[in-house]
Amino acid sequence: MENESRDARSLAGRRVLITGITDAASLAAWAARGARQAGAELVCTGLGLTPHHQGLSDRAEAHMSSAFESFQQTVAEELGAETPTFACDLSLDGSVRDLAASLAEREMVLDGVLHAVAFDRTLRPGGKTSLLETSREDFLGCMDVSAYSLVALLRELIAAGVLADGAGVVALSYLGASRVVSHPYKNVGVAKAALERIAGELAAELGPAKGVRVNVVRFSPYSASRAGGAIPGLVEAEKRAADASPLGVAHPQALADEVVHLLRPGSAITGEIRHVDGGQNLLA
The closest of 149, 143, 208, 151 to 177, measured between CA atoms, is 143
Of the listed pieces 35-43, 152-160, 197-205, 216-224, which binds ligand NAD according to CB under 6 A? 216-224
Please tell me whether residue 245 binds ligand NAD under the rule CB under 6 A. Answer: no
Helix extents (H) in the chain: 2-8, 27-37, 58-79, 93-105, 136-143, 149-159, 187-210, 226-229, 234-244, 252-263
Question: Of these, 86, 139, 148, 222, which contacts ligand NAD (CB under 6 A)?
Answer: 222
The closest of 152, 169, 53, 171 to 111, measured between CA atoms, is 169
In total, the chain counts a number of residues equal to 284
Question: Of these, 38, 40, 44, 47, which contacts ligand NAD (CB under 6 A)?
Answer: 47
Of the listed pieces 106-114, 132-140, 221-229, 268-276, which binds ligand NAD according to CB under 6 A? 221-229
Question: Of these, 143, 174, 186, 212, which contacts ligand NAD (CB under 6 A)?
Answer: 174
Give yes or no for a contact between 11 and 17, defined as CB atoms under 8 angstroms apart.
no
- Minimum gap (Å) between residue 177 Cβ and ligand NAD: 9
Q: In terms of CB distance, is 39 or 224 closer to ligand NAD?
A: 224
Q: In terms of CB distance, is 12 or 253 closer to ligand NAD?
A: 253
Rounded Cα–Cα distance for residues 67 and 10 (Å): 32
Please tell me whether residue 225 binds ligand NAD under the rule CB under 6 A. Answer: yes
Question: Of these, 11, 14, 18, 26, which contacts ligand NAD (CB under 6 A)?
Answer: 26
Rounded Cα–Cα distance for residues 196 and 175 (Å): 11
Contact footprint for ligand NAD (CB under 6 A): 20-22, 26-28, 47, 89-91, 116-119, 145, 172-174, 219, 221-222, 225-228
